[in-house]
Chains A and B, each alone.
Chain A
């Protein structure tokens, strides 16, 4: 009987979980409200602006794709990685297709679980050194 009392007291201290569910209105990223004309993202060393537009709302349940539109032609090699910073792991490599010098399509974007992800975009110079890196956070349901 004593053990039950101790357990009951301990359980009451722990208390029931109080789930704080994300609302459907929660924005996907910090830049969700910025108009494209105000340069939502930039590769600072090159001073090139670009926008990132999803072809459909991203989800962990299916393959995703998005378009990158640059303000000027991009000459350097572009690298795009998916990363989940809280868990410390990435996902399958994406497929990058150069439509024209200012437009890149990114497909086969798989988020292996829901949560807070980053799309890490970087450029490398001719010596294969990283010149710019930008981490764009997204909340993926």
Chain B
């Protein structure tokens, strides 16, 4: 049980860190995968964009002293024996050399999940897991709302998005592994501002995220790693200005270390780098360090 709890903390605190150019991506929600009634997690992340990758695969080094500090409050609670609900509220502070820093709420998410794959009897291979549905709301300025001369004021994607996903876990003695994936789609919106020269309809496509991870556990510690693969369809714009856009691909590696103070409280330190694996395209790549503190209420 303790192994699973340590693993779940790492799992819930590591998200697909945004590599969208402008204001974040779609992240996996906070999920109850153990035997707890509810949990709340506070995360502080400090990230910096290290590279920009063009749609033709060429890389540009980013040297503008940019930094994004994200404070995330997320929680999940059982609604019944099999159903749970969750939320995520980010507070984002962005800065760069020579520019006025910006801070504010990011895009807020809510989710529901169903324990579709319970662990009723021990099985060597059968994982435990949930299916979840998440909605993200455009509660912060996006690149389409802002007419600022810098991207610092941009903290969100600008769209309502729905995602359907699956999260699976399995542990064997001191080892554990997890897999989660989601498929999401944002709802097209109309924008009207001077930077686009009038009214435009912006149509995002489908996006998906895959995360694979594994860890080693002792009585109180867990050391783990995770690989993430992210894809976003091209964003098509029609109206006063038009463009077909290009698809985005980015990959990440996360290393993490978790410590369990007691059955209710745990901490995780993690480092994620999007510039070390895969062949990214049309993306900004970041390096991010995070510290999460989680409190759980048992059933």
**Cα–Cα distance between A14 and B22 once the two chains are bound (Å):** 26
What residues on A are CB-neighbors of B150 within 8 Å? 110, 112
**Cα–Cα distance between A119 and B29 once the two chains are bound (Å):** 39
What residues on B are CB-neighbors of A115 within 8 Å? 21, 52, 54, 60
Residues A88 and B251 in contact, CB atoms below 8 Å apart: no
Which of the residues B56, B175, B245, B277 comes within 8 Å of A14, measured between beta carbons? B277
**Cα–Cα distance between A108 and B150 once the two chains are bound (Å):** 12
**Cα–Cα distance between A61 and B66 once the two chains are bound (Å):** 11
Residues A7 and B214 in contact, CB atoms below 8 Å apart: yes
Q: How many A-B residue pairs have CB under 8 A?
A: 136
Which residues of chain A (99-141) have a CB below 8 Å from chain B? Answer: 108, 110, 112-116, 120, 139, 141
Count how many chain B residues have C-beta atoms less than 8 Å from C-beta atoms of the other chain.
58
Whole-angstrom distance from the CB of B144 to the nearest CB of chain A?
6
Residues B282 and A87 in contact, CB atoms below 8 Å apart: yes
Which of the residues A61, A120, A141 comes within 8 Å of B60, measured between beta carbons? A141
Residues B64 and A14 in contact, CB atoms below 8 Å apart: no
- Residue B123 is within 8 A (CB to CB) of chain A in the complex: no
Count how many chain A residues have C-beta atoms less than 8 Å from C-beta atoms of the other chain.
45
What residues on B are CB-neighbors of A61 within 8 Å? 64, 97-98
Whole-angstrom distance from the CB of B151 to the nearest CB of chain A?
4
Interface centre among A7, A16, A88 (most CB of B within 10 A): A88
- Residue B278 is within 8 A (CB to CB) of chain A in the complex: yes
Q: Which of B68-76, B81-89, B133-141, B230-238 contacts A (4 or more CB under 8 A)?
A: B230-238
Whole-angstrom distance from the CB of B208 to the nearest CB of chain A?
16
Q: Which of B39-47, B103-111, B194-202, B260-268 contacts A (4 or more CB under 8 A)?
A: B194-202
Residues A3 and B149 in contact, CB atoms below 8 Å apart: no
Residues A11 and B277 in contact, CB atoms below 8 Å apart: yes
- Dominant secondary structure of chain B at its interface with chain A: loop
| Binary per-residue interface labels of chain A (1-23) against chain B in the complex, 1 for a CB within 8 Å, 0 otherwise | 11110110011001111111110
Which of the residues A1, A2, A20, A88 comes within 8 Å of B237, measured between beta carbons? A88
- Residue B189 is within 8 A (CB to CB) of chain A in the complex: no
Residues B234 and A88 in contact, CB atoms below 8 Å apart: yes
Whole-angstrom distance from the CB of B3 to the nearest CB of chain A?
13
Residues B64 and A60 in contact, CB atoms below 8 Å apart: yes
Whole-angstrom distance from the CB of A20 to the nearest CB of chain B?
6
- Residue A56 is within 8 A (CB to CB) of chain B in the complex: no
Residues A17 and B251 in contact, CB atoms below 8 Å apart: yes
Which residues of chain B (241-288) have a CB below 8 Å from chain A? Answer: 241, 243-246, 251, 275-280, 282, 284
Which of the residues A21, A83, A120 comes within 8 Å of B59, measured between beta carbons? A21
Given contacts A112-B150, A112-B151, contact A90 B277 (CB under 8 A): no
- Residue B14 is within 8 A (CB to CB) of chain A in the complex: no
**Cα–Cα distance between A17 and B97 once the two chains are bound (Å):** 28
Residues B282 and A63 in contact, CB atoms below 8 Å apart: no
**Cα–Cα distance between A92 and B99 once the two chains are bound (Å):** 15
Residue of B nearest to A141 (CB): B60
Residue of A nearest to B226 (CB): A7
- Sample (6) of A-B pairs whose CB atoms are under 8 Å apart: A17-B275, A17-B277, A61-B97, A87-B282, A88-B236, A112-B154
